[in-house]
Amino acid sequence: MNKIHLTINGVAVTGNAGDTILNIAAQNGIVIPTLCHHHSVKVYGACGLCVVECEGSPKLMRACATKAADGMVINTESDRVVAARKVALELLMSDHEGDCVGPCSLNCPAGTDCQGYVKQIALGNDYEAVKIIKNKIPLPASIGRVCPHPCETACRRKMVEEPISIAYLKAFAADNVLNSDHPFKPEMQPKTGKRVGIIGGGPAGLTAAYRLAIMGHTVTVYDAMPHMGGMLRYGIPEYRLPKAILQKEIDEIAALGVTMQNNVKIGKDVSFADIRAAHDAVLVATGAWTSMSMRCKGEDLDGVLGGIDFLRDVALHKAPDIGEKVAVCGGGNTAMDACRTAVRLGAQQVYVVYRRTRNEMPAEELEINEAEEEGVIYKFLTNPAEILGENGKVTALKLQVMELGEPDESGRRSPVPVEGKFEILPVDSVIMAIGQKADVSGLDGIELNKKGIIAADETTFSTNLDGVFAVGDATNKGASIAIAAIGEADKASYVIDSYLKGDVIPYRKPYVSERVVTPEMLADREKQSRGKMPVRDAAERKNDFKEITLGFDEETARKEAARCLSCGCHDYHDCSLIRHANRYDIHPDRFSGAKHHGFVEQKLQVIERNQDKCILCGLCVRACEEDAKQGILGLVGRGFDTVIKPEFNCPATIEVCKNCKKCVNVCPTGALKILDE
Amino acid sequence: MKIVVGQGSCGIAAGAQKVYNALENAGVQNVAELGVTGCIGMCWLEPIVDIYENGKLLHRLCKVQPDDAKNIVEAVKTGDFEAVKQLCITEDDASFLEQQTRIALRHCGIIDPNDIDGYIGADGYQAIEKVLKTMTPEQVIEEIKVSGLAGRGGAGFPTWFKWNAARQEKSEPKYLICNADEGDPGAFMDRAVIESDPHNLIEGMLIGAYAIGAAEAIVYVRAEYPLAIERLTAAIKQAEERGYLGENILGTGFSLKMRIKAGAGAFVCGEETALIESLEGNRGMPRLKPPFPAQAGYWLQPSNINNVETFANVPWILLNGGAAFAKMGTETSKGTKVFALTGKIKRGGLVEIPMGKTLRDVIFGIGGGIKDDKAFKAVQMGGPSGGCIPADLLDTVIDYKALAATGAIMGSGGMVVMDESTCMVSMAKFFLDFTAKESCGKCVHCRIGTKRMLEILTRITEGNGKPGDIELLEELCYAIKDGALCGLGQTAPNPVLTTIKYFKDEYEAHIHDKTCPAKECTDLLQYTIDKDKCVGCTMCAKKCPVGAIHGEVKHPHEIDSEICIKCGQCYKVCRFGAVNVR
């Protein structure tokens, strides 16, 4: 065969005469993107993605269809080519309606593949489920218990009846694997010899330690407290997250070779400079450990405690004397943890003082109810005006009575004092659970933001100091939930890895396709009630710190997992369209307009076609005609309204289908799907 | 004497058949011979009745009504045409044809399209006889090369080159295809040729088939041309009967079968590779080029495709010599070109002129200028694939190169004239709507890109245009030009690009000021009544179809803008100029 010589992207390559530019490039390791080309069928040339620039030709050439000629000088990634591909992809995406991933995953700050692991749990593959979870969360048994689960908030199943119990399912699978003979072990990459120091052994620090250790780096975690776990250990009471379970998960991380050094306070036991000098990169993940003050008179009285300090002391077995009557100020999860801990410490009357009403409480509804079951008394529409005391000791709380006014920026109706109306609540102690802040002492030279906490770049997590990165509660917006810190730490780990390899690659939120779903679209789904988590009786559980949830049994868990609507596309991980879309950093919104159809599902025996996801590449049509020799499919309609349907729009044609699935195999998107048999 | 009624589709639509019947009923056959002819090309004067004496045109009667039949018969009988004087064409109107040079249309409106003898009597089938008996195929191609004839379908590719390429191919059989899928809005040149002079097309195709070595010829006609199909079918039959088609033509050993394929109404089938797909029974979608049809066309065999007008020139060229044809025109564009002159023009119809005339010659000379003496604004050349040319470029020479330089194209011959009341954004939207609907759906740029352009244009004309829309349109235009698979997609942005080029201020007025300078986009109009001018005649209130105008008699009226549908009736009926449009 005749050989020809050409230049592609500045590299001299050789190919067979008569072969296309696309093939010769591929033979030489140069990938030219395409969506409508497949070796099993004839060239079609519709998608316009494979265009390349050829010296001397004023027009872009379709590499799939153009035969290479001797001496051609081709550029497959010139600015003009990239711009053309971008527009082609943006146009395609502007008419592509589907969910790449489910709303659960999109709403998870760590981007956990909830649908993926719920599916594995439904199938009984807990190990596979944990493998998927640990891709983002190295502490699934712990997080499954404590996460306020934004995933469930977004879950579409609630349009049918109730969301999937995603968090508890996570704990279920994680417990099973953790307690099995074959606990999960990640695949480790070769050692790099690079050293990373992580300051703070909370959820963020541990996540980064896990990820960076897998990447082959030598990781040491420094923590000021006697044990690792951070807020998971010292902020979350035992009855919600048993320390033994947390420890087991921490031990798994340590088993990867991560060195864990406790009782090390930076700036006191070792200087920040020494830590920096001892490592190639440092991640600051120190969290937010200082309770915020209420700025009301009497806060210095004996018996006034910070919520976080109170919980930490209890975890350290140094529970303070809180007396019989306790007021907890605040309506968040820390307030719930504090009031329920106070109940368990034997307080007879525990009040939660909150300036709005139950509807506005940021704490989880389940916890609000459970606390009430345990005897907690809510004092809604009241706000501490002054803490009263005698002999330097708290005796009562003076409460300003409030009412709800106009909604504020957050949409919640803001509380307004009712002038002159006060209430006196006799108490022995007051716990302030109205927020927490980072203590950045010891981190010499690190730049702070206006709030006085660490300023970190939102895409690289880097600080003003070279090689120092920062994530979690100690940075930017301040304290948030554990999964948010985990998400940042996970992303930062990849940035740190890139930094250690010499080139900082910022985190870029992947582009995904999303669609809007209304309850009407799910009206045909059979109602199945949400699996109920068994909990210990309130009368019993209020007396001890033993875990209150008892865990799903096998049957409940599998059934619960099977409720998942599988919103995300089955083809997301293999979808060429989304892969190219991300490679070319597209912004299809600028072309947003009509989409060619509503939610259409059309069944071709065992094959389901989703017109909304179809990009009309014609591969299925050609595979059916040329490869399968059937010719069942054809294009129907004209212009924008063209769709792929049985040839000549004749439903009877479907009967001929032999279910060879060749159409499904060549589909570059998730438009075709084999129905579960 | 002979009385001939012009019966192209256009004439028939204007009532020519009724006139013909009325003449028959009035007994015209007792005083003269009654016949028909095809399209004369003067649309604005239809129905037209020509009166011949000894083969010479004696009188041309225009806008003839059935009621005129009696007078016409009487006039023919007596020779006194005074009674029908008002029907006789004016000198001014007659100049429409006098200023033309007709080659492709040379028989149109003169001979009877249903009668092969009429064609033969006008030198018909002499060229093919000359070719078959005295010339080799190579000599024919050479003669076409000398003539400089280029494809009249729009692209303007040299005809000899295509013929030669097909000739050079070794594979047999070869096919000759005539593209009669004339789909541009406002174009009707090819229809007129087939309806008026079908044998000319057959003869041109015979010559082409001989030149490339084809044994089968197919005419792909859009099904919306039933009369053309009817007349061509009859003409093919007549030609077969006379031995001009079929086996061993004129005893020379050359054979050619010819048939018609009616297209199902897809604009894209005018694109040659989509046409071939359609011929093969597939959905009309373009193929990738190369290979070109000359190498692998119909059934992947060497095929040559030319449009009707191209073939219509061929017999003349072979009979009169390529040099005679090349004498007309400019350096780069030879011969004549037929245009369908339409729109806001005084005299609309078919115009054939030598290349090299200016747009002004056509629009103001032959066409007589703008209707109602409004101001000329622009002319759209080449239909949806073409572009507009503004007033200050009226002296542009009609020549492939010169027209392309303006951003428009020669195209197949559509020439739509627009006056000051035409909104250029709306005009671009009209063509985009056409191309978006006619996109075959195959390639991304055309299928989705034209749709997005249409959406942007629509929002601009509805008053919802956003800053940056012009730039977004331009970006899409260039992306589609670069990325679309076939000519339909690649040229679809032309109307938008040229209107942005020459009338950007109109786009800006729509987007930024929310006004339509041509006062065509109803969503942007505001009708008000000037209280000082209104005398309270109530005319507007009576005419308003939605009851949006109220007021007492002899008191100024008012328009309720909430109810007003902006139909403009009030503006039209007000005799006091009291209705304002903004």
CA angle B151, B154, B159 (to 5 degrees): 10
| CB-CB neighbors (< 8 A) of B475 in chain A | 87
* Contact flag B288-A640 (C-beta cutoff 8 Å): no
* Residue of A91, A97, A616, A642 for testing the chain B interface, max B β-carbons within 10 Å: A91
- CATH code given to domain A595-674: 3.30.70.20
Taking phi over 0 as left and psi of -120 to 50 as alpha, with beta for the rest, B343 belongs to left
Q: How many angstroms separate the CA atoms of A208 and B4, rounded?
A: 95
Nearest by CB to A48, which of B438, B443, B452? B443
B362 and B463 share a domain? no
Residue B34 lies in a domain: yes
List chain A residues with pLDDT less than 70.
Answer: 1, 597-605, 676-677
Residue B331 lies in a domain: no
Which pLDDT score is estimated for A677? 44
3-state secondary structure A341-382: HHHHCCCCEEEEEECCCHHHCCCCHHHHHHHHHCCCEEEECE
* Residue of A35, A616, A640 for testing the chain B interface, max B β-carbons within 10 Å: A640
Interchain contact A618–B (C-beta under 8 A): yes
* Contact flag B452-A87 (C-beta cutoff 8 Å): no
Helix, strand, coil shares of chain A, percent, nearest 5, are 35, 20, 45
Mean pLDDT of B115-142: 97
Return the DSSP state at A188.
P
Q: How many angstroms separate the CA atoms of B317 and B323, rounded?
A: 8
Which pLDDT score is estimated for A313? 95
B173 and B269 share a domain? yes
Q: Find out whether B375 and B390 touch, Cβ atoms under 8 Å.
A: no
A502 burial level (CB within 10 Å; 0-12, 13-18, 19+) = exposed
B264 and B220 share a domain? yes
| CB-CB neighbors (< 8 A) of A43 in chain B | 288
Q: Find out whether B237 and B195 touch, Cβ atoms under 8 Å.
A: no
Interchain contact A33–B (C-beta under 8 A): no
Q: Find out whether A362 and A480 touch, Cβ atoms under 8 Å.
A: no
For A340-350, write each residue's pLDDT tens digit.
Answer: 999 999 999 99
| Interfacial residues of B (vs A; Cβ cutoff 8 Å) | 266, 283, 285, 288, 290, 436-445, 447-452, 455, 472, 475-476, 479, 482-485
Nearest by CB to B436, which of A591, A637, A639? A639
Q: How many angstroms separate the CA atoms of A262 and A654, rounded?
A: 67
Q: Which residue has the tokens 């309770």?
A: A291
B430 and B550 share a domain? no
CATH of the domain at B247: 3.40.50.11540
Residue B519 lies in a domain: no
CATH of the domain at B449: 1.20.1440.230
Smallest Cα distance from A402 to chain B, Å: 47
Mean pLDDT of B100-110: 96
Q: What is the Cα B278 distance to its own chain's centre?
A: 23
Residue B105 lies in a domain: no
* Number of independent structural domains in chain B: 5
B262 and B315 share a domain? yes
Q: Find out whether A400 and A417 touch, Cβ atoms under 8 Å.
A: yes
For chain A, the domains span 3-77, 110-185+518-562, 195-289+437-500, 293-434, 595-674
Q: What are phi and psi of A488, to 5 degrees?
A: -65, -45
Mean pLDDT of B261-288: 93
Which pLDDT score is estimated for B213? 97
Q: How many angstroms separate the CA atoms of A497 and A487, rounded?
A: 16
Edge-to-edge strand list for the sheet holding B33-37: B33-37, B2-6, B49-53, B56-61
Chain A: residue whose CA lies nearest to B453: A591
| CB-CB neighbors (< 8 A) of A60 in chain B | 482-483
Chain B: residue whose CA lies nearest to A36: B443
Q: Find out whether A340 and A317 touch, Cβ atoms under 8 Å.
A: no
B299 and B343 share a domain? no
Closest to A303 in 3D by CA, of A395, A429, A426, A427? A429
For B277-297, write each residue's pLDDT tens digit.
Answer: 999 999 999 998 888 999 999
For B571-580, write each residue's pLDDT tens digit.
Answer: 999 999 999 9
Q: Find out whether A207 and A137 touch, Cβ atoms under 8 Å.
A: yes
| CB-CB neighbors (< 8 A) of A79 in chain B | none
Amino acid of residue A258 = V
Residue B219 lies in a domain: yes
Last residue of a domain, one of B487, B513, B539: B513
Bridge-based pairing of strands B336-343 and B414-419 is parallel
For A50-202, where are the alpha helices, taking DSSP H only?
A: 79-94, 103-107, 114-122, 126-134, 140-146, 150-154, 166-178
Nearest by CB to B441, which of A51, A94, A635? A635
Residue B109 lies in a domain: no
Smallest Cα distance from A83 to chain B, Å: 8
Closest to B200 in 3D by CA, of B213, B186, B189? B189
Closest to B217 in 3D by CA, of B266, B165, B178? B178
Q: Which residues contact B272 (CB under 8 A, 6 or more apart)?
A: B179, B293, B297, B305
Q: How many angstroms separate the CA atoms of B470 and B467, rounded?
A: 8
B301 and B342 share a domain? no
Which pLDDT score is estimated for A1? 65
Residue B49 lies in a domain: yes
DSSP class per residue in A118-151: HHHHHTT-HHHHHHHHHTT-S-HHHHHHH---HH
- CATH code given to domain A3-77: 3.10.20.740
* Contact flag B445-A88 (C-beta cutoff 8 Å): yes
Interchain contact A144–B (C-beta under 8 A): no
* Contact flag B441-A638 (C-beta cutoff 8 Å): yes
B385 and B454 share a domain? no
Nearest by CB to B483, which of A65, A84, A590? A84
Distances (CA, A) of A453 to A293, A436, A445, B143: 17, 12, 12, 88
Q: How many angstroms separate the CA atoms of B356 and B101, rounded?
A: 12
**C-alpha Rg value of chain B to the nearest Å:** 26
**Which residues, numbered 169 to 198 in chain A, qualify as contacts with chain B under a Cβ-Cβ cut-off of 8 Å?**
none
Mean pLDDT of B442-456: 96
Q: What are phi and psi of B180, to 5 degrees?
A: -115, 35
Q: Find out whether A194 and A233 touch, Cβ atoms under 8 Å.
A: no
Smallest Cα distance from A621 to chain B, Å: 12
B368 and B469 share a domain? no
Interchain contact A51–B (C-beta under 8 A): yes
Nearest by CB to A593, which of B290, B455, B475? B455
Q: How many angstroms separate the CA atoms of B457 and A400, rounded?
A: 60
B173 and B298 share a domain? yes
| CB-CB neighbors (< 8 A) of A640 in chain B | 436, 439, 441, 447-448, 450-451
Interchain contact A509–B (C-beta under 8 A): no
Q: Which residues contact A42 (CB under 8 A, 6 or more apart)?
A: A622, A626
For A550-593, write each residue's pLDDT tens digit.
Answer: 999 999 999 999 999 999 999 999 999 999 999 999 999 999 99
Q: Which tokens in the block code for residue A145?
A: 């218990």
* Contact flag A91-B452 (C-beta cutoff 8 Å): yes
Which pLDDT score is estimated for B289? 85
Q: What are phi and psi of B504, to 5 degrees?
A: -60, -35
| CB-CB neighbors (< 8 A) of A57 in chain B | none
Residue B442, SS3?
A: coil
Nearest by CB to A616, which of B290, B447, B482? B447
CATH of the domain at B40: 3.40.30.10
Q: How many angstroms separate the CA atoms of A324 and A345, rounded?
A: 10
For B44-94, write each residue's pLDDT tens digit.
Answer: 999 999 999 998 999 999 999 999 999 999 999 998 999 899 999 999 999
Taking phi over 0 as left and psi of -120 to 50 as alpha, with beta for the rest, A342 belongs to alpha
Last residue of a domain, one of B454, B487, B513: B513
* Contact flag A48-B448 (C-beta cutoff 8 Å): no
Chain A: residue whose CA lies nearest to B489: A639
- CA torsion sign for A217, A220, A223, A229 is positive
* Contact flag B444-A47 (C-beta cutoff 8 Å): yes
Last residue of a domain, one of B299, B326, B353: B326
Q: How many angstroms separate the CA atoms of B223 and B284, rounded?
A: 14
CATH of the domain at B413: 3.10.20.600
Q: What are phi and psi of B129, to 5 degrees?
A: -65, -45
Q: How many angstroms separate the CA atoms of A241 and B465, rounded?
A: 57
Q: Which tokens in the block code for residue B236?
A: 């093919």
Amino acid of residue B442 = K
Interchain contact A114–B (C-beta under 8 A): no
Instruction: Give this complex's ipTM.
Output: 0.89
Interface A-B: count of C-beta contacts within 8 A: 100
B135 and B231 share a domain? yes
Q: How many angstroms separate the CA atoms of A574 and A580, rounded?
A: 11
- CATH code given to domain A195-289+437-500: 3.50.50.60
Q: Find out whether B149 and B316 touch, Cβ atoms under 8 Å.
A: no
Q: How many angstroms separate the CA atoms of B503 and B425, rounded?
A: 8
| CB-CB neighbors (< 8 A) of A615 in chain B | 444
Question: Helices B137-147 and B308-320 meet at what angle, rounded to 10?
Answer: 100
Residue B374 lies in a domain: yes
For B135-164, write each residue's pLDDT tens digit.
Answer: 999 999 999 999 999 999 888 899 999 999
For A565-632, where are the alpha helices, taking DSSP H only?
A: 576-583, 619-622
Nearest by CB to A590, which of B283, B472, B485? B472
| CB-CB neighbors (< 8 A) of B437 in chain A | 638-639
CATH superfamily of A293-434: FAD/NAD(P)-binding domain (3.50.50.60)
Which pLDDT score is estimated for A606? 79
Longest dimension (CA), chain A: 103
Domain that holds residue B457: 424-513
| CB-CB neighbors (< 8 A) of B445 in chain A | 48, 87-88, 91
Mean pLDDT of B361-384: 95
Interchain contact A634–B (C-beta under 8 A): yes
Q: Find out whether B16 and B62 touch, Cβ atoms under 8 Å.
A: no
B366 and B296 share a domain? no
CATH of the domain at B568: 3.30.70.20
Q: How many angstroms separate the CA atoms of A559 and A543, rounded?
A: 33
